[in-house]
C-alpha cells in the first residue's frame, strides 16, 4: 500500500484531502507563506492521530499539526508534508464548575469555550482578537497570550494537564487536574510553546475562573508612558489586583485607525501621543452592586484614581464606558489592531517583543531612532499589551529591500537584547524568527532544545525546520 492508501484506510477517504481540496489549508492568514501539502489529514480522535504518526514514523514522512491557522510566523507551513488538521477533534468533554476546570480537545475554538464556561458563570480568560477562529491546540502550541495576561497569565499558566501523541505514535498521558504535583520534571511545559515540534496535543485540562460580574473600562489620554505605568501600579494597589487589561495605542495607531476604520471613530476630539485602554473586572458583590447613586463601586474606584491623576496632570483626558455597548466600542478600536496594522501594499517588518515594564518607553525611543537612521521616511507603528511589556512593533519601510528589512529586524533585536527582553513574546518562532533564534538565543539553551528534540523525535518528522535553527 502507498502512504496515502494507508492513511485513507485509517481515516476514510473523506478525511484525506489532496490536490485542490487542500486549498483552504495552504496559507497562513497574513499571506506571507504558501505551500502545497502531500495531503491534509483530518483525524477524529487520539487513536487516529496515533495511527497517523506511526505511519509517518515508519515512512519518515514529516507531519505539520494545524489548528485554526491564525498564526503569524509560518508555524504551519507544510510544503511537501502531511498537514494534520485537528478541527474535527473539537469536543468540550467536560466542564467541572466545582473544580473550575474544562477538559477539551485541541480543535475547540476559543469563543466556544468562552460561551460554554459562561453557562456556569465561569470564564476562560484567554482573550484576543482571533478568538472566533483560533483553537485551543494552537494556543497551547504557541503559548498564546492576549489582553488578559496581566491578570491571568498566558496559556501555559492556564493549563493543568495535557495528552500528547509522540512522534512514534505513543500516547503520553499528562492529563493532571492537580494544582500541585511535584513528581519529577514538568513534562507538560515542554509541549506548550513547542509549536508541534515534539508531538501532537490531543486533549488538555484548562483552568477556569469566576466570570466577572462587573467591568470598569476606560480609554485614557496620558502625558507619557511613564505616567501610564504609574497609573497601572496605582490601580493594582487600589483595587487589589483587579486590572485585567492595560493596552497602549500610540499616535501612529490612532492615525491608522482613522484612515482604515473611520467607522469606529475616536474616543477623543483629537489624537493624543499616548492612549491607554484599561479594564478592571470584579466578582464580589461589594464591587459589583450599585450604590444609592447607581454607580458601581468598581467604576467609582476607577474614576477616583483617574481623577487624582488628572489633578496631577498625568491623565489628560478620559472616557469611561457607562454601558456594555460603550465598553464594546472601546474594545473594538483595540481589536482592530491586526486589520489596521497590515499594509495594504508594500513591505512590512513585523516584530513581537517583550521588555521589562519600566523599559517599554526606552525601547520605543531607541528602536524608533535606529529605524529612522536606516530609513528616514519609514513609518513605525506599534500597539502593546503594556501591562505585561509585550510590544507589537511594526515598520513600513519605504522600499522593499531585503537588506534594509534584515537591518531593521536586527536593530529591533539589538534594542531588545540591550534592555533584557525577548524577541518573541506571544506569536512563537515558526519560520519567521529562526534567524533571531540563531543570533539571540543562549547557545546552551539551543543545545538543550536540540537534545530534547532528538530524544522525542529522532526521525525529525514533527514540524521539522521550525522553532530550532
Name the band, by pLDDT with cuts 50, 70 and 90, for residue 294.
confident
Cβ-defined contacts of 360-363 (< 8 Å, 24+): 360/225, 360/229, 360/248, 360/384, 360/386, 360/389, 360/391, 361/224, 361/225, 361/226, 362/419, 363/391, 363/393, 363/415, 363/416, 363/419, 363/421
pLDDT digits (tens, 9 = 90+) for 241-290: 999 999 999 999 999 999 999 999 999 999 999 999 999 999 999 899 99
Does this chain's domain 214-338 share its CATH topology with 346-425?
yes
- What is the average pLDDT across 336-348? 82
Structural class in CATH, domain 3-85 = alpha beta
Q: Please tell me whether residue 402 adopts helix, strand or coil conformation.
A: helix
Looking at every residue in the chain, the average pLDDT score rounds to 95
Counts of helices then strands in the chain (DSSP H, E): 16, 18
pLDDT band at residue 439 using 50, 70 and 90 as cut-offs: very high
DSSP sequence for 28-95: -TTSS-B---SEEE---SHHHHHHHHHHHHHHT--EEEESS---SS-TT--TTSEEEE-TT---EEEE
pLDDT value of residue 329: 95
Dihedral angle over CA of 48, 49, 52, 58, nearest 10: -120
HEC-encoded secondary structure of 145-189? CCCCHHHHCCHHHHEEEEEEEECCCCEEEECCCCCCCCCCCCCHH
CA 385 to chain CA centroid, Å, is: 11
| Range 437-451 average pLDDT | 97
pLDDT of residue 292: 87
**Average pLDDT rounded to a whole number, residues 56-68:** 96
In degrees, rounded to 5, the angle at the alpha carbon of residue 20 between the alpha carbons of residues 14 and 23 is: 95
Pick the CATH number of 214-338 from 2.40.33.10, 3.40.50.1450, 3.30.70.2190, 3.40.395.10: 3.30.70.2190
pTM for this one? 0.93
Domain ranges in the chain are 3-85, 92-210, 214-338, 346-425
pLDDT of residue 320: 95
Between 287-296, 374-383, 428-437, the lowest mean confidence (pLDDT) is in 287-296
Residue 72 has pLDDT above 90, yes or no: no
Q: Locate cell 499589551: which residue?
A: 385
Q: How confident is the model at residue 1 (pLDDT cuts 50, 70, 90)?
A: confident
Identify the pLDDT of residue 343.
Answer: 72
Which three cell numbers mark 145? Answer: 497570550
pLDDT reported for residue 102:
98
Task: Report DSSP state, residue 212.
Answer: P
Is 90 exceeded by the pLDDT of residue 157?
Answer: yes
Closest-CA residue to 176 (of 163, 165, 195): 163
452 pLDDT band, cuts 50/70/90, is very high
- pLDDT at residue 36 tops 90: yes
Please determine, for residue 30, whether its predicted confidence score (pLDDT) is greater than 80: no
Which tens digits make up the pLDDT trace of 349-375?
A: 999 999 999 999 999 999 999 999 999
Indicate the CATH number for domain 92-210: 3.30.465.10
CATH class of 346-425: alpha beta
Which pLDDT value is given to residue 62?
98
pLDDT of residue 59: 97
The fraction of the chain above a pLDDT of 90, given in percent, is 90
pLDDT band at 100; cut points 50, 70, 90: very high
Q: What value does the mean pLDDT take over residues 206-216?
A: 96
Query: Does 31 have pLDDT greater than 90?
Result: no
The rounded distance, in Å, linking the Cα atoms of 89 and 107 is: 5
The pLDDT of residue 345 is above 80: no
How many angstroms from the chain centroid is the CA of residue 412?
20
Q: Identify whether the C-beta of residue 242 lies closer than 8 Å to the C-beta of residue 298.
A: yes
DSSP alpha helices (H): ranges in 312-347? 324-335, 337-340
Phi, psi of 25 (to 5 degrees): -110, 10
Amino acid at each position: 500500500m502507498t502512504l496515502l492508501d494507508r492513511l485513507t484506510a485509517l481515516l476514510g477517504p473523506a478525511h484525506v484531502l489532496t490536490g485542490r481540496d487542500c486549498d483552504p489549508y495552504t496559507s497562513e492568514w497574513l499571506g506571507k507563506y504558501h505551500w502545497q501539502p502531500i495531503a491534509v489529514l483530518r483525524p477524529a480522535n487520539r487513536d487516529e492521530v496515533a495511527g497517523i504518526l506511526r505511519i509517518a514514523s515508519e515512512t519518515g514522512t514529516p507531519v505539520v499539526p494545524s489548528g485554526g491557522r491564525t498564526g503569524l510566523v509560518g508555524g504551519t507551513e507544510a510544503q511537501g508534508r502531511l498537514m494534520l488538521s485537528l478541527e474535527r477533534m473539537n469536543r468540550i468533554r467536560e466542564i467541572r464548575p466545582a473544580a473550575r476546570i474544562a477538559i477539551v480537545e485541541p480543535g475547540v475554538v476559543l469563543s466556544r469555550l468562552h460561551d460554554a464556561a459562561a453557562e456556569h458563570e465561569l470564564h476562560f480568560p484567554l482573550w484576543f482578537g482571533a478568538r472566533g477562529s483560533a483553537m485551543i491546540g494552537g494556543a497551547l502550541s504557541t503559548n498564546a497570550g492576549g489582553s488578559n495576561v496581566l491578570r491571568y497569565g498566558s496559556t501555559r499558566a492556564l493549563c493543568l494537564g495535557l495528552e500528547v501523541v509522540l512522534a512514534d505514535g505513543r500516547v503520553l498521558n499528562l492529563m493532571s487536574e492537580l494544582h500541585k504535583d511535584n513528581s519529577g520534571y514538568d513534562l507538560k511545559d515542554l509541549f506548550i510553546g513547542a509549536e508541534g515540534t515534539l508531538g501532537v496535543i490531543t486533549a488538555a485540562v484548562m483552568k477556569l475562573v469566576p466570570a466577572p460580574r462587573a467591568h470598569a473600562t476606560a480609554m485614557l489620554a496620558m502625558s507619557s508612558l511613564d505616567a501610564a505605568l504609574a497609573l497601572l501600579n496605582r490601580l493594582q494597589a487600589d483595587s487589589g489586583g483587579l486590572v485585567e487589561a492595560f493596552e497602549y495605542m500610540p499616535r501612529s495607531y490612532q492615525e491608522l485607525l482613522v484612515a482604515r476604520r473611520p467607522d469606529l471613530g475616536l474616543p477623543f476630539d483629537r489624537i493624543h501621543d499616548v492612549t491607554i485602554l484599561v479594564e478592571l473586572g470584579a466578582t464580589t458583590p461589594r464591587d459589583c452592586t450599585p450604590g444609592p447613586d447607581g454607580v458601581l463601586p468598581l467604576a467609582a474606584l476607577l474614576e477616583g484614581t483617574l481623577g487624582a491623576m488628572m489633578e496631577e496632570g498625568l491623565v489628560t483626558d478620559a472616557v469611561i464606558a457607562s454601558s456594555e455597548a460603550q465598553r464594546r466600542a472601546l474594545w473594538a478600536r483595540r481589536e482592530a489592531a491586526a486589520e489596521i496594522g497590515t499594509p495594504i501594499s508594500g513591505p512590512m517588518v513585523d516584530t513581537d517583543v517583550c521588555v521589562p515594564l519600566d523599559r517599554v518607553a526606552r525601547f520605543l525611543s531607541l528602536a524608533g531612532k535606529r529605524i529612522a537612521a536606516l530609513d528616514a521616511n519609514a513609518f513605525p507603528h506599534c500597539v502593546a499589551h503594556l501591562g505585561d511589556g509585550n510590544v507589537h512593533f511594526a515598520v513600513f519601510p519605504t522600499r522593499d529591500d531585503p537588506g534594509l528589512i534584515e537591518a531593521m529586524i536586527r536593530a529591533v533585536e539589538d534594542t531588545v537584547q540591550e534592555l533584557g527582553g525577548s524577541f518573541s513574546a506571544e506569536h512563537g518562532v515558526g519560520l519567521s524568527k529562526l534567524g533571531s533564534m540563531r543570533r539571540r538565543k543562549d547557545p546552551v539553551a539551543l543545545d538543550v532544545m536540540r537534545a530534547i528534540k532528538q530524544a522525542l523525535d529522532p526521525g525529525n518528522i514533527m514540524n521539522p525546520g521550525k522553532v530550532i535553527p
